[in-house]
Amino acid sequence: MTLRFWERMQFSVLLAGVVVAGGLWGFIEMAEVARDATPHAFDTQIMLAFREAGRPDNPVGPPWLEEAVRDITSLGSMVVLVLVTASAVFYLLLIGWRRQALVVLVAVGGGQAISSLLKIGVDRPRPDLVSHLVNVQTLSFPSGHAMMAAVTWLTLGSMLAGIVPGRASRIYVLCVAIFVTLLVGLSRVYLGVHWPSDVLAGWCAGFAWAMLCWLVARHLAPGTAAKAPLGSAQDQRSDA
């Protein structure tokens, strides 16, 4: 039983390492696209696919869809993520899980700092191919909504997956976190405020940073609930 547990943990570490490496590679590739003087063909084709043919001001779909997409994109907004993160951190502190609270703070706070620095470093303007359906002020690359949704929801989702009973429940929680992250990114393209490469870069950077934080937390606090995101519910309960 112990051998099987360590085999699962080693696989989790390997999987997290693959996500980090793949995310960094994907981000570098998208950064090259962002630095081109003219938009890449796949950027323009995908963005125009979300608009009616010959009418770049009108998104595809029924009128209610546009409002629904605005609601979805708010799941990656600064206000919502700050509220969710603060609620999670205070709850973790309330039940005495200080290490987990620190992991969440470092992951989300560090992710926001990295996102801001990357925007300044690449300095890509917002797309002007179609009309913007929401107001935006910051630079375009990478998508902050996509990146911070990945960081926040994946961090919280993986932590929750470590304490819910049953493998199916853990998979479900992680799938929901990933699904929300994907919806937020797609909403930014639909609303016309990001190139698809901005969103892809945000996803890559966000997933890589979230997994890197998990790996560091597990290394610094082996044998504690800090490693619970990809561990078992029984480990989490015994550490508590």
- C-alpha distance from residue 225 to each of 133, 151, 193 (Å): 43, 19, 39
Residue 223 phi, psi (nearest 5): 80, 5
Predicted confidence at residue 84, as pLDDT, reads 94
- Of 40, 132, 194, 219, which one is the catalytic site residue? 194
194 a catalytic residue: yes
pLDDT at 180 over 70: yes
Instruction: Output the pTM of the full model.
Output: 0.82
The more confident residue out of 184 and 9 is 184
With cut-offs at 50, 70 and 90, classify the pLDDT of residue 13.
Answer: low
Q: Up-side HSE of residue 146: CA atoms within 13 Å toward CB?
A: 28
Q: Report the alpha-carbon distance of residue 108 to residue 185 in Å, rounded.
A: 17
- Of 40, 132, 145, 219, which one is the catalytic site residue? 145
40 a catalytic residue: no
For the chain, the domains span: 2-239
* Segment 92-122, tens digit of pLDDT: 899 888 888 888 999 999 999 999 999 999 8
Residue 59 phi, psi (nearest 5): -75, 155
Average per-residue pLDDT in the chain?
83
